Every structure is written in C-alpha cells, then in structure tokens.
Structure 1
Amino acid sequence: MNKTIADIAQMAGVAKSTVSRFLNGGSVSENTRQKIERIIKQYNYVPNTFARSLKAKKTSIIGTVVPRLDSYATSQTLIGIDEELRGLQYQMLIANTSQDMQREIDAIYDFARQKVSGIILLAAEITDAHLKAIEDIQIPVLLVGQQHELLHSLIHNDDQAGYVMGKHVIERGHRDIVYLGVSERDQAVGIHRKRGFQRAVAECSDCKVRYYETSFKMSEAVVTAQTILEASMPTLIVAATDNIAMGVMKTAFSLNISIPQHLSVTGFGDYDITEMIHPTLTTVKYHYLQAGMLAAAHISQLVEGQSVRQKTILDVELISRESVDKI
C-alpha cells in the first residue's frame, strides 16, 4: 500500500504540515530533513504532485484545452507539449471539449480552480467569453493554432500554406477547381488558409473556382464530395485538411473516378497516412510536433515571468506527391 503524507509524518514523529513544507521546498531543521528523507527513501514514497499543487502557491502543472482527441494535428501537438514539459519539470493535464465552446470556457475556470500554473489553449475561435475567462483567472494563457491580438499566440502560417498550394495547382495546369473548406468560425482554417489560396488564384486570369464548406469529419466530407462530384466534375479539389481530402478520395473511388487521371486532390497537414495511401497525397506539411514543443517552452517562460513574443508563426512546406496530375 502506498504511503501518504500522514504516514510519513507519523513515522518521522512530526506534523503533516512539516512534511508538506519539506516536500514544497520549505525550511525544516536538519535533523527533521534527514528523518523525512530516510523514510521517503525506505518506502519509495512518490509525492502526489497534483494534490500538492492544490495547496502550493506555485504548481508544476500546465493545463491544456483541446477541441478533440481524435485528430492527428491535436495528438502530435500534445506529444510535443508533453515531451517538452517533462524536460522542464512540468506535468500536463488535458481537458477535451469535443468542440463544445461552453466546455472550453468551463475548462479554463476548472483549471484555475485546480491551480495550474498556466494554460495552453487550442481553440477554433476566441470569443468575448474566452477573453473574460482568461481575464478572470489571472493565469498565463498561450493560444495555439489561432491568434488574437490580446493573447500570446503560436500559429502555423495558414495564409502562406493556402498560397503555396494555390500556386502549385495552377502551375500544374488546373483551372477548373473546387475548394472544399470549413466554417469561418475557425479563423485559421476557415479564413486564413482559404484567403491564401484565393490570393494565389487571383493571380491567374482564367481560373474558375467554386467554394464549398464541410466539417472536419471525414464522414461528412464524403457526403459533401458526393454532392459536388455528382453535380459537376472539376479537374481538382483542394481540401482544407488531409482528413477532408481523404473523404474526397473515398467518394471518388466509390464513384469509379480515378485519381489523379480524372480528378486531382490535395490537402493540408501532412498526416502520416497521406504518404501510405495510394495515390499518395499532395499536401502542405504543418510541423505540429514542433508547435507543441515550442508551446510548452513559451508557457513555461510566461509562468516564470519571462518575456515571450506576442505572436510566433511557424513555417509550412509544400509536399508534392501523386494525387495531382499535370494538365
């Protein structure tokens, strides 16, 4: 049975508060320190960091709020955060909101009640309710994947991603194009990524582009793609994410449409699977793992009161593969 602070205190002949003070780096006599250390070593006692943090003035816990766990981008970002935080002697708590905005707000307040040192927030949009919660809790918050002028933000260069993809498909000769995006409530993907693409096609005098929306779910992209392809056949569909692109490819295969011979498809993200499927997917690589590691470094610096750049932008990289034909 694991020993508790009360057990350690009883064996050492001291008060629980003395053991707690020792574990939190407070001052105790040399004799008491030696007794507590000897007992901790004898019983391999591991302090409950979470429980200690509830009473400590400063904790070693960082809260991370994510919109969903079944996402390659989220999982890779979380891996990066966790790896870096461990090296910085912090622990991570995760709150999954299942893309429910009220649960995001609740998670911010919940983390504050748990006395985390800082919060990393992966949100689709930042509302007045988010800003009020962040102001109320008075804890450092870092926004990842989106940007807001009032918050420290770490973002991928979505505008540039859309632009380089647009230039690439135009250079491949495509002029009849469908852009399958998402709601503009998600500013990074729904607005900035699309605007970058629009900026590229605006430089092409004879491009015809139709714009549609779907959700981030592959299953919904399948349905939307079927409506598009049954109405009119473009030469290319630019999907706002790799998940959406794979939904488009699934629909194309079910309709006996060959990729890329009859339809070219692109995505954004460079998920691991995009290099394994056939044909391999042309996409834009996002450095999610690096983003997570940098986010962890930045939140720890904010917690320590150090200066952090208000907005950090990560580069993206075009990955040209088999799913885009040259016309």
Structure 2
Amino acid sequence: MNKTIADIAQMAGVAKSTVSRFLNGGAVSVDTRRKIEKVVKATGYVPNAFAQSLKAKRTNIIGTVVPRLDSFATSHTLMGIDEELRSQHYQMLISNTSQDVQREIEAIYELGRQKISGIILLAAEITDEHLTAIRDIAIPVLLVGQQHTQLHSLIHDDYRAGYDIGAYVLSQGHREIAYVGVTEKDVAVGVRRKEGFKQAVRDSLPDQAHMEDVKQLERSAGYDIRYYETGFKMSDARVAASAILDGFRPSLMVCATDNIALGVINAAYSRGIAIPSELSVTGFGGYDITEVIHPALTTVQYPYMEAGRVAAQNIVRLVEHKPVEKVTVMNYSLIERESVDKR
C-alpha cells in the first residue's frame, strides 16, 4: 500500500503541514529535515503530484551536483556552465557533495524539491540509487565526465587520450614505465585512460601479439610496465610514488591526473631524483600550474570551460524538449613540454 503524507508525518513524528512544506522546498529545521528524509528514504515515498508540480512550476534554475569544489577541472567546468547559462537567462545552483555518494543522491532529491528545471551531474560513478533518484524527480539530468547508457552524457575522450599518451612515451624510447592510476569505480579516469594506454602498448608489440601472452611479449620487447593505484589528492600521490620508487626505478611515470603527476614530481625531488633526466613524468588535465612549474609538465589538456558551456547548452535543450545527442564527446590536446626526456 502506498504511503501518504499523513503516514510519513506519523512515522517521522511531525505535522502533515511540516512534511508538505519539506516536500515543496520550504524551510524546516535541520533535525526535522533529517527525520523526514530518513522516513522518505526508508519507505521509498514519492508523492503522486511530485513530477506534475515540477512541470507546472518550472523555474529558470539549473542545479549542478559536484563531488568537490577544490578541483581545477570542476571549477573551470562550473565557470563554463555559469557563463553559458547566464547568456541564456538561466541561473546556476551548486550542490557540493565532498565526494560522498550518499550526499549526491540526497542532492538530486533536494534539487528536485526546489523545482529547478534540470540538473548537471558531475559524478565519479553512477549507481542504481542515482538512477532511481533521477527517475523519481522526473526532470532532465545531464551527466558530465562519465557515460551511462540511461543518461544523456558529456565526456572527455579519455580512452583516445590515454592511447595518445602511451604512443607518445613509447615513441620517446621509454620501456620501463609505471602507470599511476586511480580507482576503477571512476570509469573515465580509472578505466578509460588506463585502457587507452594499454592499447597503445599492445599496438606497439609484434604482430603475433594476439596469439601469445601480452606480458611475455612486453618482456621480449624489452618492456617493464607496472600498474599502480592512488587517490586523487597530491598528498596521496606523493606517498604512493615514494612507495613505488622504493621497489622500482622506471624511466617514466604516466599519471592519471595532473595532481598525481605533481605529487610524483614532489616525491622525486625529495629523493634527489632529477626530472626529466632520471625520471620523466606525464599527466592528464592541463591544469594552469603545469605550464609554470619547472620543468613544465607534458600532459593531455582538456577544455573544461568549453565542456561546461556545451553542458549548459545541452541541459537547456533538454529542458526545452529539443533534441540532444545521447553522448557528446569533447576533444583534447596532447601538450609536449619538458618533463619527458627522450631515451
């Protein structure tokens, strides 16, 4: 039997009017909000008129759900979104989740209750809970940075970028390589970039690679390529790089983000390892700082602000019931700088 507002109120120990005010985006105390949210989540309650009221009272506000604000990629994407939305007479509302998946789910529901027109979601992974929340609020959602078959998505070409980095470092003669990646829960950064790199390695091997063990072929070609995982923070990468260098002295480290690359460079300098003559380093991202450090970092530069502008254009088109490609793929540039030495 479907729950009613009266049922929710009784279970939460509050008045019906309080539940109604909560569901319509009105002001309630933090303690009361938590009580109601707990009951709503436990019961799976969605009012029958929820989607109808959103359609009837659409605002000119677009919500953005972001995992963190202290990120070059996120901040520049948000700047692009804001510029484009303003030009189209929409406003942006930001919800920061501090890399907490449960907070992402709650943010989707909360933005839905505020009767916004649509949501741009920057998420590291999409779970069934995300999909349920998106279905429940019944407003357009655009996923940025990741791809999902059930959602309109805007992505960077991480696989091809990983391939190009791999082909480039191999062309410079590097054979002893440490690939420093991140969790595979993040498909774009943790999987696609690494898989592109691996494919570049495979394509550089002899033609009989499909008939033999790839690792054996790598060894026969003089390759020693090892894969590691770290966190997104520079401090995590510094610790991981130190541990790697304790047991392996590669000629080059391919890093899944510029932050990781900066952590690696810091760890190398603390050990008296010269960049790039003793250790070459590459990254992904194209952060501003990578151009001014010495030596400047070889990296893949992603057009984050342009991606934000395109994301804003796409979500507005979805809100206005205009056609949008299911997947929009942004381009990138491989920037060759001084952090890679030729072997």
1:139 matched residue in structure 2: 139
2:11 matched residue in structure 1: none
2:286 matched residue in structure 1: 270
Structure-to-structure mapping, 1:241-280, within 5 angstroms: 241-280=257-296
1:166-217 per-position Cα deviation (integer Å, ceiling 9, x unaligned)? 0000000000000000000000000101000000011233222100000100
Structure 1 segments of 4+ aligned residues over 6 angstroms from their partners:
53-56
2:116 matched residue in structure 1: 116
Deviation at 1:56, TM superposition (A): 6.8
8 A Cα contact 1:65 1:119, kept in partner: yes
Structure-to-structure mapping, 1:1-327, within 5 angstroms: 57-205=57-205, 206=221, 207-327=223-343
Distance 1:271 1:140 in 2: 30
Question: What's the TM-score, normalizing by structure 2?
Answer: 0.79
Deviation at 1:266, TM superposition (A): 0.3
Which protein has the larger Cα radius of gyration, Structure 1 or Structure 2?
A: 1
Amino acid at match of 2:233: K
Distance 1:242 1:69 in 2: 16
Distance 1:230 1:253 in 2: 14
1:86-128 per-position Cα deviation (integer Å, ceiling 9, x unaligned)? 0010000000001000000000000000001000000001110
Distance 2:116 2:271 in 1: 51
Amino acid at match of 1:209: I
Deviation at 1:317, TM superposition (A): 1.1
The percent identity for this pair of structures is: 64
Question: What secondary structure does 2:116 align onto?
Answer: coil
Question: What secondary structure does 2:276 align onto?
Answer: coil
Distance 2:151 2:54 in 1: 26
8 A Cα contact 1:160 1:316, kept in partner: no
Question: What secondary structure does 1:219 align onto?
Answer: helix
Q: What is the alpha-carbon root mean square deviation over aligned residues?
A: 1.3
Distance 1:264 1:193 in 2: 18
8 A Cα contact 1:63 1:94, kept in partner: yes
Distance 1:185 1:131 in 2: 16
Residue correspondences, number: 275
Q: Which runs of 5+ in 2 are unaligned?
A: 1-52, 206-220
8 A Cα contact 1:118 1:299, kept in partner: yes
Distance 1:221 1:300 in 2: 38
Question: What's the TM-score, normalizing by structure 1?
Answer: 0.83
Distance 1:204 1:159 in 2: 16
Deviation at 1:54, TM superposition (A): 9.1
Q: Which runs of 5+ in 1 are unaligned?
A: 1-52
Distance 2:101 2:328 in 1: 24
1:213-234 per-position Cα deviation (integer Å, ceiling 9, x unaligned)? 0010000000000001121210
Amino acid at match of 1:186: D
Distance 1:117 1:303 in 2: 6
Amino acid at match of 2:58: K
Distance 2:157 2:224 in 1: 25
